[in-house]
């Protein structure tokens, strides 16, 4: 019969019977002696057990540590020695290939939207071919009083708007004009006036002998207006001319009122035959000389 295995009823009865017989038949042994030390003596190490199961998964990532302080800059190193250059010019390369043919022109793009019309600018300056200027000199001292002074020695009169035989300038267009005179005096005082259409515009008196009476005036004239110089009388007629002193009368068109063409270079307004007076119409007048 094989070994008894506790746990069954037959085996339990057998075990109890053997235990009873051993207690009755086998005498009790002697009492054992305690050793000098009651400490237990370790037994021999047992055999190594089988490896245990693997531990759990990877733990959580720890917090990032505080960044350390930057280190100080290092000292600048010594400059190295200059290298020796043993350079030579390279040979010229060969010319590149020929230029390629021009590509085909692409299609014309769509026409852009029409831009917004800008604001109209101011009208440009009027610069028509209207010119008028003259300068003439006195060729006889002490001219006649209450009559236009004759300036027969003409220096410039390209447009012929000045009549030297009558001493009159006729305005070719409506516009602004500049007139000036510089008159030498000798022996007696001078009273001279700038007249427009028989009316005095500017009057000047020079009481000194061997002096100069000068004046400049800017006038607005209508086309056909006439301008001239006149002395008052024989007692105040010191206007003088010689080889060393010249008396001159000048004028020019500063700018016209419009760009309309002038009436022409050869336009001559009929000369007045009388009615000249120092005080204008209504004063003592002088008839045309015979």
Domain assignments of the chain as residue spans, ordered by start: 133-256
CB 209 within 8 A of CB 278: no
Q: Please give the pLDDT value at position 4.
A: 47
- The radius of gyration of the chain's CA atoms, rounded to the nearest angstrom, is 69
The H helix count followed by the E strand count for the chain is 1, 12
Condensed to tens digits (0 to 9), the pLDDT of residues 157-177 reads 999 999 999 999 999 999 999
The fold of the 133-256 domain, in CATH, is Jelly Rolls (2.60.120)
Cβ neighbourhood burial of 247 (10 Å; 0-12, 13-18, 19+): buried
Q: Please give the pLDDT value at position 90.
A: 65
Q: Is the pTM of this model over 0.85?
A: no
* Phi/psi of residue 14, nearest 5 degrees: -70, -40
**What's the token pair of residue 2?**
């094989």
User: Could you say which residues of the chain have pLDDT below 70?
Assistant: 1-9, 11, 18-42, 52, 54-57, 59, 85, 87, 90-97, 121, 123-128, 260-269, 282-290
Nearest to 271 by CA among 169, 174, 200, 136: 169
Condensed to tens digits (0 to 9), the pLDDT of residues 10-24 reads 767 777 776 666 666
Q: Which helix (H) or strand (E) holds 217?
A: strand 212-221
* Phi/psi of residue 11, nearest 5 degrees: -65, -40
Nearest to 231 by CA among 165, 167, 145: 145
Tell me how far apart the alpha carbons of residues 192 and 240 are, in angstroms, rounded to a whole number.
12
Condensed to tens digits (0 to 9), the pLDDT of residues 93-129 reads 666 667 778 888 888 888 888 788 778 767 666 555 7
Of the CA atoms within 13 Å of residue 279, those in its CB half-sphere come to 4
DSSP structural state of residue 258: S
């Amino acid at each position: 019969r094989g070994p008894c295995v506790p746990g069954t009823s037959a085996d339990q009865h057998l075990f109890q019977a053997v235990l009873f017989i051993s207690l009755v038949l086998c005498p009790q042994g002697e009492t054992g002696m305690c050793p000098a030390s009651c400490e237990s003596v370790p037994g021999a190490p047992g055999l190594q057990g089988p490896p245990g199961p693997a531990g759990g998964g990877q733990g959580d990532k720890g917090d990032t540590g505080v960044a350390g302080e930057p280190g100080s800059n290092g000292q600048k190193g010594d400059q190295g020695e200059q290298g020796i250059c043993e350079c030579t010019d390279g040979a010229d390369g060969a010319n590149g290939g020929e230029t390629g043919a021009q590509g085909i022109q692409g299609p014309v793009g769509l026409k852009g939207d029409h831009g917004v019309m800008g604001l109209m600018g101011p009208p440009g300056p009027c610069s028509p071919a209207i010119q008028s200027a003259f300068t003439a000199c006195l060729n006889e001292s002490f001219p006649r009083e209450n009559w236009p002074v004759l300036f027969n020695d003409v220096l410039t009169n390209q447009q012929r708007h000045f009549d030297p035989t009558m001493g009159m300038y006729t305005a070719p267009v409506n516009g602004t004009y500049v007139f000036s005179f510089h008159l030498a005096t000798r022996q007696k005082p001078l009273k001279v006036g700038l007249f427009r259409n028989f009316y005095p515009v500017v009057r000047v008196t020079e009481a000194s002998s061997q002096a100069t009476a000068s004046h400049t005036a800017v006038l607005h004239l209508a086309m056909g207006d006439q301008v001239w110089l006149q002395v008052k009388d024989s007692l105040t007629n010191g206007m003088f001319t010689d080889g060393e002193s010249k008396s001159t009368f000048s004028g020019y068109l500063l700018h016209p009122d419009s760009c309309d063409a002038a009436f022409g270079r050869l336009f001559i307004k009929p000369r007045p035959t009388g009615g000249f007076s120092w005080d204008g119409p209504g004063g003592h007048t002088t008839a045309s000389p015979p």
